[in-house]
Amino acid sequence: MKKFKRVLIANRGEIAIRVAKTLRELDIESVMLFTDEEKDLPHASFGDISINLGSGPLSDTYLNISKLVELCKEHKVDAVHPGYGFLSERAPFAKALKEAGVELIGPPTAAMEAMGDKKTSKEIMEKAGIPLIPGYHGDNQESDFLAKEAVKIGFPILIKASAGGGGKGMRIVEKDSEFQEALESAKREAMNAFGDDKVLIEKYITDPRHIEVQVMSDTHGQHFHFWERECSIQRRYQKIVEESPSPALSQSLREEICQTAVKISETMNYVGAGTVEFILDKDGSFYFLEMNTRLQVEHPITEMVTGSDLVQLQIRVAQGEKLPFTQSEIHQNGHAIEVRIYAENPDQDFMPSIGTIDVVGESRLLGVRLDSGYKAGNEVTTSFDPMIAKLIVWSTGRTEAINKMDKALSDYPFLGLTTNRDYLKRILKHETFREGVTFTHFVKTYADDLKARSLSREEVIQAILAYEFMGTTTKLAENEAHVTTAWDQLSGFRLN
């Protein structure tokens, strides 16, 4: 069995820090990357070795495969952890590392390639008897043919780019007469984003839930699942609140979905950490959506309910170790929720915001984990993803976890720039969410309920006093369920 001595983390921000923490626990040296612009960010100085990638577009820094491979050689690293995003699912990166004799802490290239294309992955799943959303994913791309297929499936339908990701190249079509125009625009967007305009068509499931299963496989043919996460609360097809277990599943349906995910891992001869995503319809039918061949943003909730360190397991698998447990030893215990804190303005169509973080905050609770890429004094710019932190809480039950998250969000105000914090609080307080009725159009359906209410003059004054004298937002946040915070309204008002 191999034992890594030094690992390069080909990523930044909160995920680079999260991976480095596990490396430290395992006595493996971490090599961290940063750019000129990120010198003061926590990840830049978090590792044992820090490398400045200079400046320029991402293609010159974090996405520059040859540069990263050279750095691996120069610093004699044994393996690379790619985090999520960036190069984590790019087969050419995996191949270049292999040629250089560096291990990728990730799946085999074949699995990465097969799952990177929606059409290919569906073909494999169809053969394996995995339930798919009714639709067409064949080779014929002629528009008249596709239009006929759409009629066969029955409207509404969804056009998806085969090479797609992040909701790009996706179009809902309500009726026959709108099909051709939607097809053209989906193809145009797909060509621009992925250089490939192949599409597939699916039945559009109204108000579904997004359920995903964490899987982990070793090189000895063992395939495990670490139960499910529910990620139905999304904006622009991107998750903002995730929880485990899902409030929607009976124990038998849970077992069935998780077993299906394991079957998919077996079919793929999978190795390492992966996530199988499903769409769950109101009648309990579930369908394979896609498999992400990497660690997910929302992995911490699984770590909290199963008491495992998924990054540690990834590393042990990459070192060739046989995982020393059985499926029946992996339990779901209690309830965990994660929220993604974004530098963005939910009241202006989630437009990214920029600024300097004056105060991050500090937790006054047990069972709270903040995975943040920023500290007080740091500047948030538009150069990188607007997700600045993830807040994760664990408690004995769902209601307890929701209440705890509401308090935890008060403890971490991230003052100085506009964030989605209060918006997240409004979701947590929403009656329908609290009842466990979550679905992918939640945010759209309850847009009016989730809007910020303006503060009265008195409330603004009260908030300023609380801010000045207590140095915290807690007082206001605990008293007010449905308001925007005062500093959002006090343009120019800053600490100091």
Q: Which two three-digit tokens encode residue 207? A: 């108000």
Between CA 335 and CA 338 the distance in angstroms is 10
Q: Select the residue interacting with ligand ADP from 210, 225, 235, 316 (CB under 6 A).
A: 210
For residue 277, the minimal CB distance to ligand ADP (Å) is 6
Q: How far is the CB of 160 from ligand ADP (least distance, A)?
A: 6
**x-or-dash pattern for ligand ADP, window 130-149, by CB under 6 A?**
---x----------------
Using the contact rule CB under 6 A, the part of the chain among 15-23, 202-210, 380-388, 452-460 near ligand ADP is 202-210
290 binds ligand ADP (CB under 6 A): yes
Q: Which one of the listed residues 18, 294, 421, 426 is annotated catalytic?
A: 294
Q: Does 167 bind ligand ADP (CB under 6 A)?
A: yes
Distance CA 207, CA 204 (A): 9
d(CA 415, CA 487) in angstroms, rounded, equals 8
Residue 13, both tokens: 């921000």
Q: Is 398 a catalytic residue?
A: no
CB of 152: closest distance to ligand ADP in angstroms? Answer: 15
**From CA 13, how far away is CA 8, in angstroms rounded?**
14
User: Shortest distance, CB of residue 215 to ligand ADP, whole angstroms?
Assistant: 16
Distance of alpha carbon 358 from alpha carbon 487, whole angstroms: 12
- 212 lies in the binding site for ligand ADP (CB under 6 A): no
Residue range at the interface with ligand ADP (CB under 6 A); choices 79-87, 138-146, 157-165, 386-394: 157-165
Structural contact between residues 340 and 400, judged by C-beta atoms closer than 8 angstroms: no
Minimal distance, residue 54 CB to ligand ADP, in Å: 31
134/131 Cα distance (integer angstroms): 9
Element (H, E) at 137: none
Q: Which CB, 37 or 196, lies closer to ligand ADP?
A: 196
**Residue located via tokens 């899987």:** 215
User: Which residue of 208, 272, 346, 386 would you call a contact of ligand ADP, by CB under 6 A?
Assistant: 208
How many residues of this chain interact with ligand ADP, rule: CB under 6 A? 19
Helix axes 91-99, 65-74, angle to 10 degrees: 30
Give the DSSP per-residue string, 336-380: EEEEEEESEEGGGTTEE--EE--B-----SSSEEEEES--TTPEE
Q: How far is the CB of 239 from ligand ADP (least distance, A)?
A: 8
Nearer to ligand ADP, 121 or 484 (CB): 121
Nearest-approach distance from CB 168 to ligand ADP, in angstroms: 6
Q: What are phi and psi of 301, to 5 degrees?
A: -65, -35
| Residues numbered 231-250 forming contacts with ligand ADP, rule: CB under 6 A | 234, 237
Given 61, 64, 438, 440, the residue binding ligand ADP (CB under 6 A): 440
User: Does the protein bind ligand ADP through residue 164 (CB under 6 A)?
Assistant: yes
C-alpha–C-alpha distance, residues 469 and 135, integer Å: 60
Given the rule CB under 6 A, which of 41-49, 166-174, 180-188, 248-256 is the region that contacts ligand ADP?
166-174
Q: Select from 197, 202, 338, 488 the one that contacts ligand ADP (CB under 6 A).
A: 202
Give the binding range for ligand ADP (CB under 6 A) out of 162-170, 308-316, 409-417, 458-466: 162-170
CB within 8 A of 200, min separation 6: which ones?
A: 118, 119, 122, 135, 136, 137, 159, 160, 162
289 or 370: CB nearest ligand ADP: 289
Strand order in the sheet with 238-244: 286-292, 272-280, 209-217, 223-235, 238-244, 335-342, 387-395, 368-372
Q: Which stretch binds ligand ADP (CB under 6 A): 164-172, 192-200, 293-301, 425-433?
A: 164-172
> Would you call 462 exposed, middle or buried from its count of C-beta atoms within 10 A (0-12, 13-18, 19+)?
middle
**Choice between 227 and 439, CB closer to ligand ADP:** 439
Q: What is the DSSP letter of 43?
A: G
Residues at the interface with ligand ADP (CB under 6 A):
133, 158, 164-167, 170, 202, 204-205, 208, 210, 234, 237, 277, 279, 289-290, 440
Which residues are tagged catalytic? 294
